Amino acid sequence: MMTEKKLSGAGLRGQSAGETALCTVGKTGAGLTYRGYDMVELAEKARFEEVSYLLSRGKLPNQAELDAYLAKLKSLRGLPQALKSALELIPASAHPMDVMRTGCSVLGNLETEQDFSEQIDHIDRMMALFPSIICYWYRFSHDGVRIDTETDDDSIGAHFLHMLRGEKPNDLHARVMNVSLILYAEHEFNASTFTARVCASTLSDIHSCVTAAIGSLRGPLHGGANEAAMEMIEKWGSADEAETEIMGMLERKEKIMGFGHAIYRESDPRNAVIKGWSQKLAADVGDTVLYPVSERCEAVMWREKKLFCNADFFHASAYHFMGIPTKLFTPIFVCSRASGWTAHVMEQRANNRIIRPSADYVGPDSSEWVAIEDRA
Ligand SMILES: CC(=O)SCCNC(=O)CCNC(=O)[C@H](O)C(C)(C)COP(=O)(O)OP(=O)(O)OC[C@H]1O[C@@H](n2cnc3c(N)ncnc32)[C@H](O)[C@@H]1OP(=O)(O)O
Ligand SMILES: O=C([O-])CC(=O)C(=O)O
């Protein structure tokens, strides 16, 4: 059972910044739930699209509702020509999260939300289009190919892999993508979601809220940690080497990406789920290095610091075993978390007051004006 984190210090830690009916994180006795549904059960039994429906519509869909929702998402996968042209201008050297941010922003120029009554259609469009945005740019800038983003895959996960590779994924890969998208879908008032809510609280449009959230997710202390973890573990050729290097990093007081959490104290419940799938994928590809390296990192970090893997750490090896380029890890997180962000935007709008905290002033008492020619 999770114990409560020490509630003090900077970063607004431990302070409630509002109410939500969307998610519990680390709540004693409840763990991680989306609208009351246990995340572990959802990852085992649900399709990601059922989860995104649950977040956006407030209930799990029945079969007819799910069929209609899947058909709608499928019909919205095509990129407007102006967005394709914009993506083609972005070089291969760009950071894919910058591509996501720009892609979302350009979409907001082309299909602007005119009224909040349109919000659900814009949300569905983003859920359908985000995988298309990143894969279209990636394949054009890296392979010189203009891909057709209108695949017939039912699931967003399979659709993503299909566009990336030019062929349908096998069942194992489609399944892991589905689980991964569920794990990343929603997490209460994390930094990127809070960003989206702050933006929403000014009554801004939905593309601005999501664009801002993408910017917050990009950082290595948040979503960017899955890529940073991959860059770290791929350098090591054995579990013993990983242990030596981790010990050195800890001695130098360096941050180990993919470990620790702002709310959880003893474990991140998403870790056990993605770790299990990473192990299956390791067996599938015959890996004898990366998975043992990852496991040793986990053991050493717990032994030395009582720090545990968060959702990002075993996502690194899992995505890698599926052949996904490291730089696309965090954009996949966007394709999933967009469901959580937009549900929070709707929730904020439904009961809004502009988010505007106070600050404790620590600057000089009074400063005397100095003419510019007299300044040092
Ligand atoms: C999906 C997600 O966004 S999950 C988070 C992904 N981010 C990462 O994996 C980045 C690495 N982790 C971290 O930087 C942090 O653990 C965060 C940002 C996630 C949480 O930060 P905080 O709430 O400030 O962490 P917390 O209060 O638990 O830190 C306690 C101590 O552990 C240390 N610590 C925390 N995480 C780590 C880590 N990964 N490696 C080394 N030391 C760490 C902190 O430096 C702090 O020590 P200090 O007293 O010397 O400052
Ligand atoms: O909740 C947090 O602070 C970060 C996190 O795990 C997430 O957003 O999934």
pLDDT per position as a tens digit, 283-303:
999 999 999 999 999 999 999
Residue of 259 and 14 predicted with greater confidence: 259
Structure confidence at residue 8 (pLDDT) = 61
Q: Which CATH class is domain 223-320?
A: mainly alpha
Does the pLDDT at position 6 exceed 60?
A: no
Quick: pLDDT tens for 342-351: 999 999 999 9
45 Cα–ligand 1 center, Å: 31
Q: Whose CA is nearest to atom 4 of ligand 2?
A: 190
- Indicate if ligand 1 lies below 6 Å from the C-beta of 259: yes
Q: Verify whether ligand 1 is closer than 6 Å to residue 218 (CB atom).
A: no
pLDDT in the model for residue 14 = 87
List, for residues 307-317, the tens digit of each pLDDT value: 999 999 999 99
Residue 2 has pLDDT above 80, yes or no: no
- Label residue 1 by pLDDT band (50, 70, 90): very low
Structure confidence by residue, pLDDT tens digits, 130-155: 999 999 999 999 999 999 999 999 99
Mutate-to-test residue for ligand 1 from 253, 255, 330, 332, highest number of ligand atoms within 8 A of CB: 255
Nearest CA to ligand 2 atom 3: 190
**Pocket (CB within 6 angstroms of ligand 2):** 25, 187, 190, 262-263, 310-311
User: Using an 8 Å Cβ cutoff, are 278 and 291 in contact?
Assistant: yes
Q: How far is the CA of 183 from the centre of ligand 2 (A)?
A: 11
Ligand minimally distant from the alpha carbon of residue 337: 2
Interval between CA 268 and ligand 2 midpoint (Å): 10
For the CA of 250, the closest atom of ligand 1 is 41
Q: Which residue CA neighbors atom 2 of ligand 1 most closely? A: 222
Interval between CA 20 and ligand 1 midpoint (Å) = 25
pLDDT of residue 7: 53
pLDDT value at residue 279: 98
**How far lies 44's CA from each of 40, 41, 47, 273, 317, in Å?**
6, 5, 9, 9, 20
Q: Which atom in ligand 2 lies closest to the alpha carbon of residue 184?
A: 9
- Average pLDDT of the chain to the nearest whole number: 96
How is the chain split into domains, by residue range? Answer: 21-221+328-348, 223-320
CATH code 3.50.50.60 for 21-221+328-348: no
Sheet hosting strand 23-27, strand order edge to edge: 23-27, 31-34, 37-38
Kindly give the distance from the C-alpha atom of residue 222 to the centroid of ligand 2, in angstroms, as a whole number. Answer: 7
Nearest-CA residue for atom 41 of ligand 1: 255
Best of 15, 181, 257, 263 for a ligand 2 pocket test (most atoms within 8 Å of beta carbon): 263
- Nearest-ligand number for the alpha carbon of 229: 1
User: Known catalytic residues?
Assistant: 261, 312
Write the pLDDT tens digit of every residue in 319-343.
999 999 999 999 999 999 999 999 9
Centre of ligand 2 to C-alpha 190, Å, is: 5
Q: What is the CA radius of gyration of the chain?
A: 21
Residue to substitute in 39, 190, 214, 337 for testing ligand 2 pocket (most ligand atoms within 8 angstroms of CB): 190
Q: What is the pLDDT of residues 11-68, one digit of tens each?
A: 999 899 999 999 999 877 668 999 999 999 999 999 999 999 999 999 999 999 999 9
